[in-house]
Amino acid sequence: MEEKRELMVLERNERKPAREQLIAAMLEGRTFREVSAEAPVPVKRAMAYRLLRAVRTRGNTALQDGRHGHPIKLRGEARVFLEACCREAPCTPSPTLQVALRERFDLQVSVSQINRVRVTLGVSNPSRRSLREKKRKQGLLCQSQNGKKE
C-alpha cells in the first residue's frame, strides 16, 4: 500500500518533466509505443496524442497542469464564517454563500465544495422537497393532535 502512495507522489512530482520528455520524443518522429516503453510515468495513448496536438497549437504552455487551488480551501476563518452563516440561516443558497466568501475573504470556492463542507459540518441546505415533506408531516401531526383533543 505504501509503495502505491510513493508511486503516486513520484508521479505527481515528475508529471510535467515526463510529459515534456514524451512529447519531445514524439515531436522528433518517434512512435507512441517506442516512447511509452521508456517513459517513467505511464501515459495513455490518447492523452499523449492530445498533448502532442496541444503542444503543436499552443506551445509548451499546453504541458502545464491546469489544475490549481487547495484541497481544503475552506479552513480557518472562512470555514467558521461559513458555519456561522449556515447555522443562522440554513436555507441560504450555496451560490449566495459563494459570493459572500469571495467578497469577504477573496476566496474562490465552487458551489459543490461549499455543499460538501456544509454536509460535513451538518448544516446542509434542506431541499424544498424535504421542507414540504416536513411541513406536511407537521400538519398531519397537528391534525392528529387536534383530533385527540376533541
Instruction: Tell me: do 48 and 73 sit in the same domain.
Output: no
pLDDT tens digits, one per residue of 50-80: 989 999 998 888 777 655 545 566 788 888 9
Q: How confident is the model at residue 27 (pLDDT cuts 50, 70, 90)?
A: very high
Q: CA–CA distance from 95 to each of 27, 88, 115 (Å)? A: 45, 16, 10
* pLDDT greater than 80 at residue 142: no
Q: What is the domain extent for residue 40?
A: 2-63
In a domain, 40, yes or no: yes
Mean pLDDT, all residues of the chain: 78
Q: How confident is the model over 81-108, as a mean pLDDT?
A: 90
Domain count along the chain: 2
Instruction: Tell me: do 46 and 80 sit in the same domain.
Output: no
C-alpha cell at 36: 511509452
The whole-number pLDDT of residue 5 equals 44
Q: CA–CA distance from 105 to each of 57, 71, 74 (Å)? A: 37, 17, 10
